Structure 1
C-alpha cells in the first residue's frame, strides 16, 4: 500500500480540489490511503477533507515537516508519499510512484512541478526550479526534493530520522540523509500541478530570497516566517 500524506492549514479554498485529484487515480482506491494532517486550521479545512480522506487529524509536531512526520507515523503503507493541499495530482501519480518503487531499488523518489496558474512568469519560474532539480540530480550534488512531490520507503525514512521540524528547507535537507541509506531517484515524468499563489501574493524574488535566507541559517530565522502564511 501507498500512504499519501497531505499537510494542511486553513486550506478550505484548495483542499477539495487536491483530494478529488487524489481520488481520481488510475489504480484502485483500496491500494492507497490518504492522510490529512492539519495544523489546527481556523476554517473548514478538516470538515471538507473528512469525506475525501481516510484519516484527518491535528498535528502534534511542529511545522510542515512535523505534519509530514506525524502522517508517516500513522501510515499503513510501505511507501509514504507527500504532497501539498494546494497541489493537483495527475491521474497516474500514485501508479507511477508504486511502479518506481517496485522496479527500482530506491529509498526516495521525487519529481517535477508545473504551475497551476497561467502566465509566462509562472512557467519560467518553475522551468528554473525543474532545471535546478535535474542539474542537482545528475551531478549528484543537491537533491531538490520538493515536499509536494516526493515519496519514501517508510522504514528508511524513519531510520533516517524523518523531516527536521524547521521553517524552510526541510524537503531539501532530508535527501542528504536518505542518500546515505540508498538511492534517491528523480523521475522527471512524475509531475504535479504546483500553486504559484505565494509568488503572486508576496512576489517571486521576495519569496525565493526569504526561503534562501532561512535555509542558509539552518532552517530557522526569527525575523522571517515562511510556513503557515495567510493567503487572500
Structure 2
C-alpha cells in the first residue's frame, strides 16, 4: 500500500506541465510509439474517455495507458465534450480515435463513445487520471468472468506538496469501509467512470442518461444489474490515481471528509436493502439538507475576503 508515497510508476514530470506549450514534442513521440504497439483496428476491448477542457491532464492519462501491458487487443476513444481549451489539439497529435460531442455531460459523451466502439467490452476511464500498468489486463479479465455484466475498481489520491500522501491514505481507509458496506446492496453508488467496465451490447441496450447530470456511471450500473452481476475489483494492481481536485474545491481535507461523512450517515439505512427498479433518467441525485447546509458554509467561508490585522 502506498501509504506515505505516490506510486513509483507514475511519471511525476508530467505533473509540472500547466499548459500545452509545456509539453515537449518528444513526449508525444514516445507516447505515440507505445500506442502504435498497443492499439488496433480490431479491438477486443474499447477504452472510452470523455474529456472537457483537459488539454494537460489528458496527456497524463494517455501516457499511463500507453504503458499498459495486456494480452487483449485494445482501442482508445476520447470524446471531446465541447472543450473550449486546446484539448482537440492534443487529441489530433495522438494516435487514438477522437470524437466530438457538443451536448454537455459525461452521459452523452460516453454514449457517443460506446456507439462508436468496436470492442466487445468497454472500459470506462477519465481524462484526469493515471492508470497502472496492469489496469487494462486485470480489469478486462474480471469482466470476462461468468455472469458479470459490470465491474468497478477503486481509486486513490496523489499526495501533493500541500497535502502529504499519508493524509489521503487515512481518508481512503475510512472511505473503503463504506465502499464495502455499499457493495452488498447498493454497488451502483460505488461505480465510478474513472475505473469501470461492462459488456458493450448490454450498455447499448440500456444506454447512458442523455443529459448533463452527475452520476451517469452509477445510473448505467444500476440498469446493468438486471442483466448480470456487479463485481468490485479489489486487486490493488487496478487502483487508479488522480490529483485531489475534487477535494480541494471543498477547502480543507477535513471539510471534505466531514461533508462526505454527513452524506453517508444520512443514507446509511438504505445500505441494508437493494433499491427498487426505477427510471434513472427521471431521478435526481441524493443531496440531503444537512449536506447542502454544510456546502453553503464552505462556499461562504471561501468567498469571504481575508481580514487584515489592525
| Secondary structure of the structure 1 residue equivalent to 2:170 | helix
Corresponding residue for residue 192 of structure 2: 146
Q: Report how many residues are paired.
A: 217
Structure 1 residues 43-122: aligned runs within 5 Å: 43-118=85-160, 119=164, 120-122=166-168
Q: TM-score, normalised by structure 1?
A: 0.82
1:4-48 Cα deviation digits (max 9, x unpaired): 0111111112111100111111126x8101111012222221211
Question: In the TM superposition, what is the alpha-carbon distance from 1:93 to its structure 2 partner?
Answer: 0.7
Question: In the TM superposition, what is the alpha-carbon distance from 1:159 to its structure 2 partner?
Answer: 1.5
Separation (CA, whole Å) in 2 of partners of 1:27 and 1:132: 31
147, 158, 173: which is aligned to 2:204?
158
Q: TM-score, normalised by structure 2?
A: 0.63
Tell whether 2:175 aligns with 1:129: yes
Corresponding residue for residue 48 of structure 2: 5
Question: In the TM superposition, what is the alpha-carbon distance from 1:177 to its structure 2 partner?
Answer: 1.1
Q: Does structure 1 retain, via aligned residues, the 8 Å contact 2:114–2:122? A: yes
Q: Where in structure 1 are there 5+ consecutive unaligned residues?
A: 218-223, 225-232
Separation (CA, whole Å) in 2 of partners of 1:208 and 1:42: 34
Separation (CA, whole Å) in 2 of partners of 1:194 and 1:135: 24
Change (3 A) 1:160 1:50: same
Question: In the TM superposition, what is the alpha-carbon distance from 1:100 to its structure 2 partner?
Answer: 1.4
Corresponding residue for residue 65 of structure 2: 22
Separation (CA, whole Å) in 1 of partners of 2:222 and 2:246: 26
1:165-224 Cα deviation digits (max 9, x unpaired): 3421222222221111111110111311122112113435469959x7x6126xxxxxx9
CA RMSD after TM alignment: 2.8
174, 178, 193: which is aligned to 2:224?
178
Higher strand residue share: 1
Bigger CA radius of gyration: 2
| Secondary structure of the structure 2 residue equivalent to 1:103 | coil
Q: Does structure 2 retain, via aligned residues, the 8 Å contact 1:23–1:52? A: no
Higher helix residue share: 2
Change (3 A) 1:68 1:124: farther
Q: Where in structure 2 are there 5+ consecutive unaligned residues?
A: 1-43, 264-283, 288-294, 296-310
Change (3 A) 1:206 1:125: closer
Separation (CA, whole Å) in 2 of partners of 1:22 and 1:125: 26
